[in-house]
Amino acid sequence: MNTYATAALNAALDRLETSLLAALNHQITTADFCRQVRADVPTLAALPPRYLDVLQSLLDRLESSALFTEESCSFSQRDQFASLQMWLDKARSATD
């Protein structure tokens, strides 16, 4: 990956982290968070393919969890955000 692509990928990961923190602090909605992350999917596609597959799955589950007003056994937003944080940590290590 060239320097420009690496810089763009790191910037996308930084935006994802900022949006994740804003969503966790209820500063943006889950729908806005997912929309912001999906806007960066073309840049995040520089990661190995399995990362994008997992991210898409996590976002789908997070959007489903937003349909419930309470925590559900199957759709815990808290668990989905924790999984996204883990994904972010692994994606950052993949760029090193």
Cβ pair 58, 77 in contact under 8 A? no
**Band of pLDDT at residue 69, cut at 50, 70 and 90:** low
Angle between helices 77-95 and 3-24 (to 10 degrees): 160
Is the model's pLDDT at 65 over the cut of 90? Answer: no
For CA atoms 57, 91, 87, 8, the dihedral sign is negative
Mean pLDDT of 19-25: 95
**Band of pLDDT at residue 21, cut at 50, 70 and 90:** very high
pTM for the full model? 0.86
For CA atoms 19, 24, 26, 27, the dihedral sign is negative
Cα–Cα distance for residue pair 23/76, rounded to 1 Å: 14
Cβ pair 51, 41 in contact under 8 A? no
Strand, helix or coil at 47?
coil
